[in-house]
Structure 1
């Protein structure tokens, strides 16, 4: 999500599913069976004491790299094939074409020592072109045609993951919902590109995640923030940052909210949706637009279909940010895939337990954290966990790469 502004830091420091045709059908049944088996698995205890800070690195503001401006980093993932990390920029082609980066990040038991960018590629459309800026998109006839815009329109990049089977980049974008004339609707989407940015395909999404002019569907700029592969790559799991319009209001200082997690086969079919309980806003705010939402997710274990880490990112005007990471389990939660609205319904959401509140780690500042991924395992068995913040290309914010160790 972009557009929020934060206090100044004082530190120096296509409708048709082409992926199905590409991968084949052989594991669709196995995937469904694995999901069902996973629903009987137990959940491990989680405690904030399991986590310690290794350190952080600050990426310089407006760093120039290979003809682009580095900023708006909204996601991070580690590519096991290269040992490098991939990061997405949420630049909607306003500064440079929508793109992702590769980087070497030096992390060990003594800390995080460097972040060195090694490459960048624009996301390409099926026709091989880059995505246009939002102003150009809304000014063309494309804005009046849902089918054309969904396929070839602009994008609002948010999260990316390396496909564990192919090494391709799977990425999500939030779409657009402009109701003031001229009306412009762009559905969110999950797409896949090769490591060079060339287009591979697009996943089908649930009908309730399509933009509408009615009071149903996703809110503007609060849609697909997080995606992850799970169950040995047989599942693709995604989450909405905040509730669908028909599922209730956003979190406030006095009440939390329920958003949706979607589980689908890597070949396309949606298998389940679960309600995720978002915490209330951590303090009262004078700004009605301030809220709490889920900004990223990652599978807790690459083979487990039920457990995930969720990043809740909140901002209160005049106070700042609050970022917490929760361990969740979908086991036993109500499948709400076919429930049009969960507002007022008796359903069981996923279970959640705090892993870490970043305010407890001793960081000089916690900024707009939007990405999370596992890194290497340390010699003592601790797993490294990396987070990245989106600075919105603003001098009032920072791009911080944080490294944690998790027992």
Structure 2
């Protein structure tokens, strides 16, 4: 995409949009000079996939300039015009002359990105799935347990097709927590990019219920897992395009690929315990992700293992004040419940459907998926039997 713009405000919006995570795969260049500069630039040069033009000229002048540009445009190039006149007749005339879209300034960043997306996806395209990443602020805070139960809750409470992906390749516990030992999982997708398609990933996934599938980690040390920054991109792109909800269990490590996963997802959930190290790490994660996700909701916070006996804790109020946000959920320490679930390969709701913790996780799942919280008289937490 190349932009030929006139005003500083529009330049700022386009440049900010180019740095947004949604445009991460687009190559964007911004020039000053409007339509005349575009005509001059493409007299002897091929045109890009998309040309964005800003014009404050009279419509007759604009039509003449666009006619000159049309003589230089290659087949398949789309043209978007940003104007300063909100006139439906002007819009119709531009569309008639072959312009792909017309936007009236001022505009915000997400509106601009939405218009670009509509040019290539169209109104008939399927809605992309929602990707939620769960990561621990510190090792041992129970982030994986929260992540797995969150996926289970969303799939059951909201009846959404959900895929749980274990990205802790060396020590992941998705297989253990669901009492499954499938021969294949997420590693085969990551290390076989040449075979990747929707059918291949579907064969790798192991079904836990009618609405929940898992892509477990191999959890073996027979190879190193030094992944490249883009190693997970293709797999997540396919999952996003084929599954309404994708939950990522992200290991507690900071490297190029984990940062890219966290920045690129729709929502980030940080799981922390109320102590000083967790407070510092949570604050660091939130600040870093906010800087890279300027147009997204800030990371969510779930406080886990609250009320651990004999452990001095930072109060919930102080923790929330330091983060400048209220927690999405607060989960108390219940050793018997969590221990039984882990040892039996069950979800918390299967061990004790009446626990208040289940309600907290259900509420978090509904909020993350943009749904209003709905209370149910009966918690549908049992897995389907073989006769269902």
TM-score normalised by L of structure 2: 0.28
Query: Which structure has the bigger radius of gyration?
Result: 2
TM score, norm. by length of structure 1: 0.27
